[in-house]
């Protein structure tokens, strides 16, 4: 396609040769959005004049989209966009092509996305037109801007996250400065040796728009050099978790070598959060494809801070009803509720966390709506109380009980003048403590039998954590010491019985076992509420425990891309995905 347009520019053809239709990209909106719906309009590039016609590129940064227009034209003049995913080497052409109709003097295209976060691609876009000769503007946003823009001087600080590579006595290093900007250096080299960065948005699988960044050569008489600094996140394009590596070439042998790929971590929490947001899908506004797990990820992001826009979009998009299979195996009825009462309650706690982060009342209102739905399944006719696990009322278990307790107490502590939720929380807490869910060792088993006895099933860390968190929040609401004492009893039992070498373990991640998608997030949930207890009590023992978890996973269960796995001790077999990432992030946040 590039060769064809070069020929068109040379010979002045009136009609561009059509390109294959591009696959539609959806970010916050899909390609072909009408420019009248743009949130903002800017003109980031100089106009291109073609035989007196004015070709202009328009952009809306809040939408992450661009469109093109042509003015001062005549009937038959045409305008379109080109979009490239490999820094202009190739492109999708004729996007939104529009021709000036009779009696008009101009026209415009529809809007197209500049990036594709769902597929981890960063695009370049330009406006092109045919007005008795073909011409194009420059490409928009060739440089990435985060804390600073590409091609700036390295800032203060120098971390080297991966081992250097060597090549014929040369040492090639990857560096991050204190802003998270990346740069590369070459030492012990000779004249003509080269150094550069590669940048990938898909965790090192490819780097079509980020090859040979900052390429520079060792000067005559020198033995070393370095590149300028480049960003690894593109907030404007909603691209996070960019990876970089340092590469070099030795002049005499014309051979090259590269370090491993890495992502920066200006802090532990920032590195873990960026890696989590790499998996977030902004169009559907969740982490595909787990419904309640996404609620827990929302909670982790809210606790970490910095992504209020993504949280708001998650709220706006997912308040709707969804058929079975779209978000969960169950249908979602709207307002985040479904037949799974525990799933509904997870979303209630998520919006409490977002409210705490933003103080936007709509989130607390939504949490109250969800809590009212969950309360409808409180049933004193079975076991004297407790909330049913599902709409079919087949099981009373620890997770739903703990969620309801934490949610009701949280609402009471946030709704001015409340008496309803405070009363419900007190009832729920008293029932929880006396229900038999807590065994003689101070551990919370999975649920109750049909005869309302402890069923002796697995002690999951998230049930232990929800018990701590619910009772702690009830203590805040009432000041009753026995609730705090019971929370501390659960915490002490967990430290003593749910750890290996002082590091929290799940029963499914010991030996040769592996955890399913639900279980991958359990330990992080525990640490969220255990960390809350540590802060509330000021206990040095509890604080030391949270710090040990964060230190262990950061040292043993994290790779150079800041991806955190299921086994915080670093043993195998291990798994890593966005669920384990959210879990690890909560552990890091618990340590403060």
Last residue of a domain, one of 443, 464, 498: 498
Domain shared by 303 and 279, yes or no = yes
Last residue of a domain, one of 452, 476, 498: 498
Is the peptide bond between 573 and the residue preceding it cis, with omega within 30 degrees of 0?
A: yes
pTM, whole model, 2 decimals?
0.94
Domain shared by 92 and 55, yes or no = yes
Radius of gyration of the chain measured on its C-alpha atoms: 28
Is the distance from CB of 421 to CB of 415 less than 8 angstroms? yes
Q: Which structure tokens are listed for 290?
A: 């787990």
Cα angle, residue 382 at apex, residues 381 and 384 outer, rounded to 5° = 80
Domain shared by 130 and 45, yes or no = yes
Is the peptide bond between 429 and the residue preceding it cis, with omega within 30 degrees of 0?
A: no
What CA–CA distance (Å, rounded) separates 468 from 536? 12
Asked, for residue 2, whether it belongs to a domain, the answer is no
Q: Which structure tokens are listed for 480?
A: 């009753």
What CA–CA distance (Å, rounded) separates 128 from 93? 9
Domain shared by 230 and 323, yes or no = no
Q: Residue 189 is part of a domain; what is its CATH number? A: 2.60.40
Q: What pLDDT does residue 441 have?
A: 98
Q: In this structure, what are the phi and psi dihedrals at residue 7, rounded to the nearest 5 degrees?
A: -60, -40
Residue appearing with tokens 């996070």: 240
What residues make up the domain containing 403? 377-498
Domain shared by 477 and 511, yes or no = no
DSSP alpha helix (H) spans, 501-539: 522-537
Q: What pLDDT does residue 576 have?
A: 97
Domain shared by 177 and 209, yes or no = yes
Domain shared by 252 and 284, yes or no = no
**E-assigned strands of 274-421?**
none
Residue 429 CB-half CA count within 13 A: 31
Pick the closest to residue 174 from 193, 198, 153, 192 (CA basis).
Answer: 198
Asked, for residue 15, whether it belongs to a domain, the answer is no
How many structural domains does the chain have?
Answer: 5
What CA–CA distance (Å, rounded) separates 342 from 162? 42
Asked, for residue 98, whether it belongs to a domain, the answer is yes
Q: What pLDDT does residue 520 have?
A: 98
Asked, for residue 330, whether it belongs to a domain, the answer is yes
Is the distance from CB of 291 to CB of 298 less than 8 angstroms? no
Asked, for residue 151, whether it belongs to a domain, the answer is no
Domain shared by 483 and 505, yes or no = no
247 by DSSP, 3-state: which? Answer: strand
Residue 398 CB-half CA count within 13 A: 28
Is the distance from CB of 519 to CB of 506 less than 8 angstroms? yes
Last residue of a domain, one of 119, 136, 153: 136
Contact residues for 119 (Cβ-Cβ < 8 A; gap 6+)? 202
Asked, for residue 370, whether it belongs to a domain, the answer is no
Q: Tell me the average confidence (pLDDT) per consecutive run of 10 residues in the chain, 592 residues long.
A: 33 36 90 98 98 98 97 97 97 97 97 98 98 97 97 98 97 98 98 98 97 97 98 97 98 94 98 98 96 98 97 98 97 98 98 98 98 98 98 98 98 98 98 98 98 98 98 98 98 98 96 95 98 98 98 98 97 96 98 94
Asked, for residue 199, whether it belongs to a domain, the answer is yes
Asked, for residue 71, whether it belongs to a domain, the answer is yes
Domain shared by 96 and 189, yes or no = no
Domain shared by 566 and 479, yes or no = no
Domain shared by 437 and 543, yes or no = no
Q: Is 19 exposed, middle or buried (0-12, 13-18, 19+ CB in 10 A)?
A: middle
Domain shared by 115 and 208, yes or no = no
For the residues of 562-583, what is the DSSP string, one character each? --B-S-TT--SS---SHHHHHH
């Amino acid at each position: 396609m590039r060769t064809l347009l070069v020929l068109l520019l040379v010979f002045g053809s009136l009609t561009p040769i059509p390109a294959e239709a591009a696959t539609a990209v959806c970010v916050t909106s899909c390609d072909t959005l009408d420019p009248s719906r743009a949130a903002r309009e800017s003109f980031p590039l100089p106009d291109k004049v073609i035989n007196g016609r004015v070709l202009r590129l328009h952009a809306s940064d809040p939408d992450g989209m661009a469109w093109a227009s042509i003015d001062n034209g005549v009937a038959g003049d045409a305008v379109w966009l080109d979009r490239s995913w490999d820094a202009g080497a190739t492109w999708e052409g004729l996007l939104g092509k529009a021709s000036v109709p009779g009696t008009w003097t101009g026209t415009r295209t529809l809007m197209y996305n500049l990036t594709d976060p769902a597929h981890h691609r960063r695009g370049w876009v330009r406006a092109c037109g045919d007005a008795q000769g073909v011409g194009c503007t420059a490409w928009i946003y060739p440089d990435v801007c985060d804390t600073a823009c590409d091609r700036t001087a390295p800032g203060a600080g120098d971390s080297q996250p991966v081992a250097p590579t060597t090549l014929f006595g040369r040492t090639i290093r990857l560096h991050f400065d204190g802003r998270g900007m990346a740069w590369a250096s070459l030492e012990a080299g000779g004249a003509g040796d080269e150094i550069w960065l590669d940048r990938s948005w898909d965790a090192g699988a490819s780097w079509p728009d980020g090859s040979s960044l900052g390429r520079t050569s060792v000067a005559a008489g020198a033995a070393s050099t370095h590149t300028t600094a480049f960003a690894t996140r593109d907030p404007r394009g909603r691209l996070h978790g960019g990876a970089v590596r340092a590469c070099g070439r030795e002049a005499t042998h014309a051979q090259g070598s590269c370090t491993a790929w890495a992502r920066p971590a200006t802090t532990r929490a920032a590195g873990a959060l960026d890696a989590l947001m790499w998996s977030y899908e902004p169009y559907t506004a969740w982490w595909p494809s787990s419904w309640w797990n996404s609620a827990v990820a929302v909670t982790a992001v809210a606790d970490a801070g910095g992504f209020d826009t993504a949280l708001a979009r998650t709220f706006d998009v997912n308040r709707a009803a969804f058929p079975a299979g779209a978000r969960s195996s169950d249908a979602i009825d709207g307002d985040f509720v479904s037949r799974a009462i525990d799933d509904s309650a997870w979303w209630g706690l998520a919006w409490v966390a977002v409210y705490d982060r933003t103080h936007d009342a709509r989130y607390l209102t939504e949490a109250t709506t969800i809590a009212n739905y969950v309360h409808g399944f409180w049933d004193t006719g079975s076991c004297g109380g407790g909330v049913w696990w599902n709409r079919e009322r087949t099981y009373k278990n620890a997770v739903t009980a703990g969620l309801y307790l934490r949610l009701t107490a949280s609402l009471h502590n946030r709704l001015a003048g409340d008496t309803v939720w405070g009363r419900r929380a007190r009832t729920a807490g008293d029932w929880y403590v006396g229900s038999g869910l807590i065994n003689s060792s101070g551990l919370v088993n999975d649920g109750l039998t049909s005869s309302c006895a402890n069923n002796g099933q697995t002690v999951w860390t998230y049930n232990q954590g929800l018990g701590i968190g619910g009772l702690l929040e009830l203590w805040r609401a009432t000041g009753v010491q026995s609730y705090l004492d019971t929370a501390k009893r659960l915490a002490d039992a967990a430290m003593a019985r749910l750890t290996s070498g002082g590091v929290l373990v799940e029963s499914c991640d010991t030996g040769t076992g592996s955890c399913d998608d639900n279980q991958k997030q359990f330990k992080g949930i525990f640490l969220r509420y255990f960390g809350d207890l540590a802060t509330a009590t000021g206990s040095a023992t509890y604080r030391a425990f949270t710090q040990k978890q964060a230190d262990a996973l950061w040292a043993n269960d994290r790779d150079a891309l800041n991806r955190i796995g299921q086994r915080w001790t670093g043993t195998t077999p291990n798994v890593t995905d966005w669920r384990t990432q959210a879990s690890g992030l909560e552990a890091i946040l618990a340590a403060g």
